[in-house]
Amino acid sequence: AQSVTQPDIHITVSEGASLELRCNYSYGATPYLFWYVQSPGQGLQLLLKYFSGDTLVQGIKGFEAEFKRSQSSFNLRKPSVHWSDAAEYFCAVGGPTDSWGKLQFGAGTQVVVTP
Amino acid sequence: GAGVSQSPSNKVTEKGKDVELRCDPISGHTALYWYRQSLGQGLEFLIYFQGNSAPDKSGLPSDRFSAERTGGSVSTLTIQRTQQEDSAVYLCASSAGLAPYEQYFGPGTRLTVT
């Protein structure tokens, strides 16, 4: 069965420091992978997506993620965090073994940014 | 036009009562999704409507949950005989037919069952 694991429930990072959020998946075929962000008081927003091709994908707000098939991972990174990046981040997986468009989300990682 | 809207934003109900939650998707979006977000649980898929196809109901947790989508637009999620474990934020999302994974989420309805 497909699943998404975000090992870190909570991460604290200093403003200006780099950030990496981990995501591991289990999927029976080549997955489609996504990162969504939920900022306080706002709805979820798509940050970036991977379907195929280049395994390093760029998203909005300066985020990037790398698909590593051998590690079943899709980690999210940002070189320099801004205070506005404080939010909850969700990794999600979909693909050909599911209904077109159906996503399974991880439990989320809460990011706190300190001055 | 406007984004996905949901109503009510908050709902408090007594155990055993029925509730209806409403979702207005983005105009022109053919796909509509319902999720449930419980504290520390992430987003749980409930049901998915795509155009005129039969909905994917595989995520509904029990037969107390049902949803319909009228005229390919507005959707209503109904929970019958609510239980305390139904307390959560219910999120609706919509997407265009050609980009189903780019889902636009509404603000959610926070349901509290007392």
Which chain B residue has its CA at the smallest distance from A98's CA?
B56
For the record, the structure tokens of B108 come out as 């959610």
Which chain B residue has its CA at the smallest distance from A46's CA?
B102
Asked if residues A35 and A63 have their Cβ atoms less than 8 Å apart, the reply is: yes
**Chain A contacts to B (CB-CB under 8 A):** 6, 9, 32, 34, 42-46, 49, 90, 92, 94, 99-108
Q: What is the pLDDT of residues B62-90, one digit of tens each?
A: 999 999 998 879 999 999 999 999 999 99
Among A8-17, A90-99, B64-73, which stretch is predicted with the lowest mean pLDDT?
A: A90-99
Contacting residues of A for B43, CB less than 8 Å apart: 44, 90, 92, 105
Establish if B35 touches chain A: CB-CB under 8 angstroms.
yes
Check residue A2 and give its pLDDT. 80
Is B48 close to A108, i.e. CB distance below 8 A? no
A5 pLDDT more than 70? yes
Which residues are within 8 A (CB) of A66 and not within 5 positions of it... i.e. 6 or more apart? Answer: A55, A56, A57, A73, A74, A75, A77
Give the C-alpha separation, A112 to B11, whole Å.
29
Q: Pick from A45, A102, A108: which is nearest to B48 by CB? A: A102
For the record, the structure tokens of A111 come out as 């990011």
Check residue B100 and give its pLDDT. 81
Question: Is the model more confident about A62 or about A30?
Answer: A62
For the record, the structure tokens of B106 come out as 């509404």
Contacting residues of B for A99, CB less than 8 Å apart: 48, 50, 56
**How open is the CA angle A77-B40-A5, to the nearest 5 degrees?**
45
Contacting residues of B for A108, CB less than 8 Å apart: 42
Q: How confident is the model at residue A38 (pLDDT cuts 50, 70, 90)?
A: very high
Asked if residues A90 and A96 have their Cβ atoms less than 8 Å apart, the reply is: no
Shortest Cα–Cα distance, A67 to chain B (Å): 17
Which residue has 């649980």 as its token pair?
B41
| Paired sense of beta strands B109-113 and B10-13, if any | parallel
Question: Is the model more confident about B42 or about A13?
Answer: A13
Answer whether the bond into residue B100 is a cis peptide, omega within 30°.
Answer: no
Query: What average pLDDT score do residues A48-54 get?
Result: 92
Q: What is the pLDDT of residues B12-67, one digit of tens each?
A: 999 999 999 999 999 999 999 999 998 877 889 999 998 888 899 999 999 999 99
Check residue B1 and give its pLDDT. 53
Contacting residues of A for B35, CB less than 8 Å apart: 105
Establish if B50 touches chain A: CB-CB under 8 angstroms.
yes
A102 pLDDT more than 90? no
A99 pLDDT more than 80? no
Question: Is the model more confident about A29 or about A106?
Answer: A106
Check residue B17 and give its pLDDT. 98
Contacting residues of A for B3, CB less than 8 Å apart: 43
Check residue B46 and give its pLDDT. 95
**How open is the CA angle B60-B63-B65, to the nearest 5 degrees?**
55
